Structure 1
Amino acid sequence: MAEKTVKSKPNTKPKAAAQPAVAEKPKAVEKARVAEKPKAAEKAKSPEKSKQPNALVRWWRETMGELRKVTWPTPEEAWRLTKIVLVVMFGMSVVLGLLDFLFSWLIRLILS
């Protein structure tokens, strides 16, 4: 069997000695900063809660915001679409009326 030789890739990472030394922060200072953050966040949250609107006011504002995004039809477009709806309703009522008359005539014919 033939053995394969594996070539190692050169290390592309810079050596640690080439980087300047950075002084580490004491852990006590880091812990103190971490402990301070939640207190500041709690203080900031408490005034905001009193300023938040109730659910009904928030719903109304969101609804009005969404309605501002709507593209409303012009009066001409609205009238044209209204006419289309009326014509389709009239046509369907005629078709359903004829079907009702036809089926009732057939039922009368079968029963008599």
Structure 2
Amino acid sequence: VPVELQVEVLRDMNFQVKPGWVVALVGPSGGGKSTVMALLMRFYDPKRGVVRLDGRDLRTLDPRWLRRQMGIVTQEPVLFSTTIRDNITYGLEEEVSDAEVEAVARKAN
């Protein structure tokens, strides 16, 4: 996310992601990957232009709902100071059994 929100960081950017696609933003440091994600997740809104989802301006959507629709895998993994179980199940809305958590942990290893 840009430190100074008054600085223009993207210009004339346009791309389309079709339903069901998985997209990876890759490129050199400073290339705008984090800025694009911050705009898509509405951590801030553009000063000019519009970010749309299915033709709807993102500013008309609930940011909490919007963020639940996306998944992000960052370059640096984040672990919270809690249990391994809590880290694995972070963000889930439904309860999962210990057996399910263990199966996921084994699969990831």
- Scaled by the length of structure 2, the TM-score of the pair is 0.17
Structure of greater Rg:
1
Q: Which has the higher contact order (CA 8 A, sep 6+)?
A: 2
